[in-house]
Amino acid sequence: MSQPLALIAVPFLTVLEPAFQSGGLSTARAWELTDDQRARVRSIVHAGEVVLTPEYLKTLPALGLIACVSVGYDGIDVAWCRANGIEVTHARGLNAEDVADHAIGLMLAAWRNIPTLDRTVRDGRWVQEERIGSQPSLGGRTLGVVGLGHIGAAVARRAEAFRLNVQWWSPRAKSESPWPRADSLLALAEASDILVVCARAEAANRGMISAEVIEAVGPKGMIVNVGRGSLIDEPALRAALKSGKLWRAALDVFQTEPTPADLWADIPGAVLTPHTAGSSNEAVPLMVAQAIDNVQRFLKGADLASPVAPV
């Protein structure tokens, strides 16, 4: 019987191909796929932010599983997949602590203007008089968390150690939360000095951090995004930074990835990283191992380890 194949659908995941193969998977690459291989593809190992259209999935007649190495799966129409006999899994909660660490790092870097100050020293522009009273303190301010899942809760716990008052909002209430839930996203933005976006991306919340929400955070406030780029109206964010309606922003995720550098060339007050928040040396092997486990379980007809919650 022909060996079932796990398809790598995006080129940047080829760096993980040896790990997939060491885990017992026979792999194929989407951009090199032969007709014989196409008929043997039973699963896709995937980065969930990258779109897999139903039209493309229909070309894989034996497909039964999309195993996301990522926590997110916003590039996949889960309802369509399940209606067509395709299950979807993800790396549930495995890198939340690393993403939260990165969010706090971005917050500190932007709030205290660390990248600019680093360049000041390296460029020989250190002026003693400019050291005095040049940075606002962090303690006692309010940090608002958008989306109190694994990542959002980890951010909130860390924020308390920095003497920040924590509030949060998401569409679904959590009675067990130790932090107060705002009445609405806009109310959270108005109350927050720092708004940290940790929500799961889905069609219903695209652009939820709108121009109105951005301006509610205000000219003395900051937005941090470690969720998904689709959650923020990115042109509105850049316009607010340029006009002074928003003080600072710190982003690890973008509407288009890689984000075009020229979009940010003249944008003040922004600290940017290339979607690396969850990619630690410790988390990535766990995420890969869970994807492999899900594929192996699927092929054996066993219960999946981390299926996406029903939609």
Active site residues per annotation: 228, 257, 275
Nearest Cα to Cα of residue 202 among 65, 67, 88: 88
Instruction: Give the span between the Cα atoms of 23 and 39, in whole angstroms.
Output: 22
The CA-based diameter of the chain, rounded to the nearest angstrom, is 76
Instruction: Give the span between the Cα atoms of 181 and 51, in whole angstroms.
Output: 32
Residues listed for the chain: 311
Backbone angles phi, psi at 45, to 5 degrees: -100, 125
Instruction: Give the span between the Cα atoms of 311 and 308, in whole angstroms.
Output: 8
Instruction: Give the span between the Cα atoms of 260 and 271, in whole angstroms.
Output: 15
Q: How many C-beta atoms lie closer than 10 Å to residue 219's C-beta?
A: 11
Instruction: Give the span between the Cα atoms of 59 and 63, in whole angstroms.
Output: 9
